[in-house]
Amino acid sequence: MTIHVALPVMVGAAIYVSWRSPTLLLFRWFRVAEVWPLIQEWRQTVAAMSDSLPEWFIYSIPDALWVYALAAAMNLIWEGHARRAATPWLICAVVAGCGGEVLQRFGGIPGTYDARDLLLSGCAWLLALVIVPAGQIPYGGNT
């Protein structure tokens, strides 16, 4: 759980906190929690690194890590159970992760559609299905 869920979430969150726009809702939460000065200090410390980081790392990897962690969490919750019991939740994970991007593509929600986000998130979802131990019984059995 730590490696496949908590770690990706923490890495993604660290990227957001370090290099993403200060106008994100996340930063409003930090202001409410009165940790914004600390966060600002941290952002100033690591700001220079952003020049050497590729754009996809800052803008696409956090979303992919989020999808990976969610799919991994679902897989782990349903470990040892029939895959079909977990299937609706795994589909929820990919819809939650990639659905927003698809809606942005067709103007359903505000934001900028990026095929790279979609591709990386899709790959992250597949990766979680492949490498995270999940339903040991392909179909049927204990649900």
Partner 1 sequence: LNRHVLSFFTLAVFLLLATGSTDTKNAPSAEPNTPDPSSRSAAEDVRATAAALFTSRYARSNLASWNIRARPAGADCGVLLVTIGATMDDSIIESLHYSSDVYEGGVEHFYHERTFRGVVYSDASGHRWRYGLVSASEAENASPC
120 Cβ contact list (under 8 Å, min separation 6): 56, 60, 61, 63, 64
| From 38-46, 117-125, 132-140, span contacting partner 1 (CB under 8 A) | 38-46
Using CB under 8 A as the binding rule, whether residue 15 contacts partner 1 is answered as no
Backbone angles phi, psi at 35, to 5 degrees: -110, 5
* CB 52, min distance to partner 1, A: 12
Using CB under 8 A as the binding rule, whether residue 28 contacts partner 1 is answered as yes
Which of 66-102 are b and which e, b meaning 16 or more Cβ less than 10 Å from the residue's Cβ?
bbbbbbbbbbbebeebbbebbeeebeebbeebbebbe
Using CB under 8 A as the binding rule, whether residue 47 contacts partner 1 is answered as yes
User: Which residues of the chain form contacts with partner 1 (CB under 8 A)?
Assistant: 9, 13, 16, 19-26, 28-29, 40, 43-45, 47-48, 50-51, 62-63, 66, 69-70, 73-74, 77-78, 81, 85-86, 89, 92-93, 96, 110-112
